Structure 1
Amino acid sequence: MRKAELIFIPMPGMGHLIPAVAMAKRLVERDEGISITILIVNLQFYLHTPYIQSLESDAAIDKRIRFILLPQLDKPFDTSSRAVVTQMILAYRPIIKQTVEERVIKSDSAGQLAGFVLDLFCTGLIDLANELNVPSYIFFTSGAALLSLMWHFQSLRDYHGVDVTEFQDSNAELDIPGVRYPVPCKVLPTVLLEKDAGAKIVLDHAKRYREAKGIIVNTFMELESHSLNSLSKDADIPPIYPVGPIITLDPQNIRGAGNGSHGNVDSIMRWLDDQPPASVVFLCFGSMGSFSQEQARQIATALERSGHRFLWSLRRAPTADEKVGPPRDYENLDDVLPDGFLDRTAGTGKVIGWAPQVEILSHPAVGSFVSHCGWNSTLESLWSGVPMAAWPMYAEQQLNAFQLVRELGLAAEVRMHYRWDNRKKVSNGLVEAEEIEKAIRKVMDADDAIRSKFKEMSEASRKAMAEGGSSYAWLGRLIEEIFESIYN
């Protein structure tokens, strides 16, 4: 039997690690000759251990997937610097090389090393793959439209001498190959507009994507046909493999991702069990989403005025005295929310901390999802068939929201150009209760156009992954490419 060993190297952070693990599971389920080693960068402020333990004890995880938690580095990193990821990956390179050589290449139990599957921010390890004489594949955890945008901006910079950061604060709209409609500069990813090396770092990654053997994109043809067809016509880029939606559905793995913050999950699910079908607005803003107290009060006012039942994952940013890392749960919600809010909404609403998002979205009581439009959350919402209200915050989420609202008609808009700066803990403006309430009513009350389109795309997402579907076929092509790289 043909055998191949792949090395997965995701970025730290659940938004990258969880889809990488789900992708690994998909590969080993599809072909019994594939085994995978996942190397996990070990940063103190990302507590991966509970999640990894939940995976290792999960009977659904094939023994052909193993996890290696790399040792922590002694060198401190400036986590406020845009270059921290690049510096960290380069610092880990000797450790990764030694680990691969000793525990994979020289191992009798592993198959032949067939390549590295690298996170979109780990392109610095392409050189290591070349040194080991194996191909590199990029696992792009966002959508094809962002990939098109990154390559377009990289071309503007490198081949046309354009300073893309000049688009910051511009009211212009840009024609982007791979995006159906002109894109307002106000919804471009923040990092592509930053003059403090942010844009350079991201576009340098995009340039290195061109060296990869292939780009594995967590999307599906029916969702991003325009972007994928545009990319397929570009002879200067590697093959694109749209294999999504790659999401994690197992409740135990989802709870493990809470890193010990999931003690209240059972009470959340029991509360949902008591609610009527499709009656609850679920608000959740990702693993890094948080709000100021003033903004939280506006959300509370909107929820109360809307009259809808709600389940709200409300979290705070770390204080200056706390370690860098993801948001924390509030210790006393009465200090944050309007006076009497919790008492007045006790019969119709529930405010929580960390949320098992996929479990909640899959519950029949949930009727809509107010989301930051992170790509993982978007795919999870589509899979579950829960229509969205788009409230992007950081990274590429504004572009995702633009696609969902304007291009695809799959979401109501809260405020598409809202931005939250995770480093400075400030936003570009307060979203008033009226805007939030309007979006909630639109997606909950009677917008049949959004619900109809969403249902259609939800069904398409499931068909894409089933045997005979578009993503099923692309995954098969990827697997054949992996084996051809070592047997031909």
Structure 2
Amino acid sequence: MSADAKKTLVFIPFPIISHLVSAVDTAKLLADRDDRLSITILIMKRTLDNKISSYTTKSPHPRINFLHLQENKSLASGSMGDKNWALLFAESHRDLARDVVVEMMESQKGRLAGFVLDMFCTPMIDVANELGAPAYIFVPSGSAFLGLLLHLQSLRDDHGKNMKEYEGSDVEISIPTYVHPVPAKVWPVKVFDNETGILECARRYRETRGIIVNTFLEFEPHAISSLSADARIPPVYPVGPLIQGGGEETDENKRKREEIIAWLDKQPHSSVVFLCFGTRGIFHGEQVKEIATALEQSGVRFLWSLRKPPPEGTIEFPGEYENPEQVLPEGFLRNTTGIGKVIGWAPQMAVLSHPAVGGFVSHCGWNSTLESVWCGVPIAAWPLFAEQQTNAFQLVKEFEMAIEIKIDYRKGSGVIVRAGTIENAIRQLMDPENKIRLKVKEVHDKTRAALVEGGSSYNFLGRLLENIMDNTH
């Protein structure tokens, strides 16, 4: 291959581990499909996240390399309190990213094929424009949610609607990517406040060459066809499901994983409900007790990932309890010996793919949603923040493949979901006759097919590659 045939694609993911891993998985898919492509992933540093440093130490592919940008001291991690910190963070790295890419391209003598930018990194579109390269947006969430953002942005910018008016209201509005009207109560809170900049990001998606989404046609057929039919939206490329494996595990986590799997190995098929609420999912005292009561009263076997809230006012990640008894009702661990296990960190994919697991009480983060479908495990939906309420609405109301615990629950709202509600949802979830099991199985059977040669995501990835390779002349 002549040197001039080499083309470089630059990825700029947002430095949150779930966004980063999906972006790297997409980069791997592209590099595997076309050996003329080399990929550089720019890593913006956040003081906070050690997981990112360890994840980006070694390259996942011979033609993918990580390039760490210097830390921008002017934007200390404390400013995450700002409503639009994500946008400010990306903006503050804009010049740095441009200079690094210019220098890299001069030294490589290759050609710049384009930029793949995280959904929160829209300020980097300016860098692509300045360097005369196309920009693509990477959305680690689903396509129905993407449609929600674009529709609300159009309502605000083209029809003069004030999003504040919807906040806290019982309004439901028709959004093209959903079959049913979507209640304002399940929209992400950030859309109600102009200062967060999320609709500003959505406005800029329209300027790009294409939008790559971590989803697949068989899972979101209505949303994907609706986006594709809208001439004001760039081409959408569903290339998922990109499933996040456990990543690099510490020795301590390997030990915990073995212990958890050994416990599951002793449980009957499809008998265990798994409760896990993501990397930031925590509950406080009274709510923890209600969950415990529900589990005990249901009599269902359970594996519960119970995380310790970080100190108030900090932005640290949840931790592990030295002794979970301090937050659980007295006697709970003793009463549930043999049928239940309370853990801290959980190897989620290993648990969901274990035959003993028959249900998943989840916060409905998009990665967890895809993993549940990949493993064929139905969900009881208990969203906490971000776009999780929207995902929960989609699973419960649109797809009828999940049980509702409370789809408009907001973390920090002071609302306590009572034991009776949780118990009832768990019983329904674990009922082998429940029709949601069939729905989940139907989609589960199509997940792997989407990714193999001739599958829908495989074909969309091919179209995306053609588009990228056509850009460089």
TM-score of Structure 1 vs Structure 2, range by shorter chain: over 0.9
Is 1:188 aligned to residue 187 of structure 2? Answer: yes
State the partner residue of 2:46: 43
Q: 1:342 aligns with which of 312, 333, 336?
A: 333
- Are the aligned partners of 1:308 and 1:348 in contact in 2 as well (CA < 8 Å)? yes
Match among 418, 424, 440 for residue 432 of structure 1: 418
CA shift at 1:428, angstroms?
4.5
CA distance in structure 2 between the aligned counterparts of 1:303 and 1:25, rounded to whole angstroms: 41
1:157-176 paired onto structure 2 within 5 Å? 157-176=156-175
Deviation by residue 1:400-448 (Cα, 9 ceiling, x = unmatched): 111101110110111111011xxxxx23410111111111111112343
**Counterpart position of 2:21:** 18
Residues 71-110 of structure 1 aligned to structure 2 (within 5 Å): 71-75=70-74, 76=76, 77-102=78-103, 104-108=104-108
Asked if structure 2 preserves the Cα contact closer than 8 Å seen for 1:15 and 1:287, the reply is no
Shift of 1:218: 0.9
Amino acid at match of 1:51: Y
Q: What secondary structure sits across from 1:115 in the alignment?
A: strand
Q: What's the offset of the Cα at 1:240?
A: 0.7
Choose the corresponding residue for 2:315, options 316, 324, 340.
324
The answer to whether the 8 A contact 1:35-1:111 is kept is: no
- Does the 8 Å contact 2:395/2:401 carry over to 1? yes
Q: Which amino acid aligns with 2:143?
A: A
Structure 1 residues 123-142: aligned runs within 5 Å: 123-142=122-141
Question: 1:146 aligns to what?
Answer: 145
* Residue deviations 1:101-124 (CA, integer Å, cap 9, x gap): 22x30233x742211110000000
User: Match for 1:187: what amino acid?
Assistant: V
Contact 2:26 2:242 in 1 (8 A): yes
* Residue ranges of structure 1 left out of the alignment (5+ in a row): 421-425
Q: Distance in 2 between matches of 1:49 and 1:271?
A: 32
SS of 1:245's equivalent in the other structure is: coil
Which moves more between the two structures, 175-184 or 30-39?
Answer: 30-39
Instruction: Supply the AA of the counterpart residue of 2:168.
Output: D
Q: Secondary structure at the match of 1:255?
A: coil
* Distance in 2 between residues matched to 1:405 and 1:94, nearest whole Å: 44
Note if contact 1:390-1:416 (Cα within 8 Å) is conserved in structure 2.
Answer: yes
1:342-361 deviation line (CA, Å, top 9, x unaligned): 12222111111121211211
Q: State yes or no: 1:405 paired with 2:378.
A: no
Query: Which residues in structure 2 correspond to 1:354-433 (within 5 Å)?
Result: 354-420=345-411, 426-433=412-419
Residues 84-136 of structure 1 show CA distances to partners (whole Å, capped at 9, x for unaligned) of 1121112112221222222x30233x742211110000000000111111111
Q: Quick check: 1:446 aligned with 2:432?
A: yes
Matches within 5 A, 1:107-126: 107-108=107-108, 111-126=110-125
Q: 1:247 aligns with which of 243, 256, 272?
A: 243
> Which residue number corresponds to residue 177 of structure 1?
176
Query: Residue 373 of structure 2 aligns to which amino acid in structure 1?
Result: L
Matched residue, 2:260:
268
8 Å Cα contact 1:371-1:377 kept in structure 2: yes
Q: Which amino acid aligns with 1:311?
A: L
- TM-score normalised to the size of structure 2? 0.95
Aligned-pair CA distance for 1:45 = 1.1
The 1:262–1:46 alpha-carbon spacing in structure 2 relative to 1, beyond 3 Å, is: farther
Give the C-alpha shift of residue 299 in structure 1.
0.8
Distance (Å, rounded) in 2 between the aligned partners of 1:52 and 1:255: 14
Query: Could you tell me whether the CA contact under 8 Å between 1:164 and 1:192 is conserved in 2?
Result: yes
State the alpha-carbon separation in 1 of the partners of residues 11 and 149 from structure 2: 23
SS at the partner of 1:427?
coil
| Structure 2 residue 446 is matched with structure 1 residue 460 | yes
What does residue 423 of structure 1 align with?
none
Structural mapping, 1:155-304, within 5 Å: 155-194=154-193, 197-198=195-196, 201-249=197-245, 251=246, 253=247, 255=249, 264-304=256-296
Q: Does 1:34 align with 2:33?
A: no
Q: What is the rounded CA distance, in whole Å, between the counterparts of 1:132 and 1:14 in structure 2?
A: 28
Whole-angstrom CA distance in 2 between matches of 1:244 and 1:166: 35
* Preserved CA contact (<8 Å) 2:351 2:357: yes
Task: Look up the SS of the partner of 2:107 in the other structure.
Answer: coil
- The alignment's TM-score, normalised by the length of structure 1, stands at 0.92
Percent of residue pairs bearing the same amino acid type? 50
Q: Which residue of 1 aligns with 2:299?
A: 307
Partner AA of 1:118 in structure 2: L
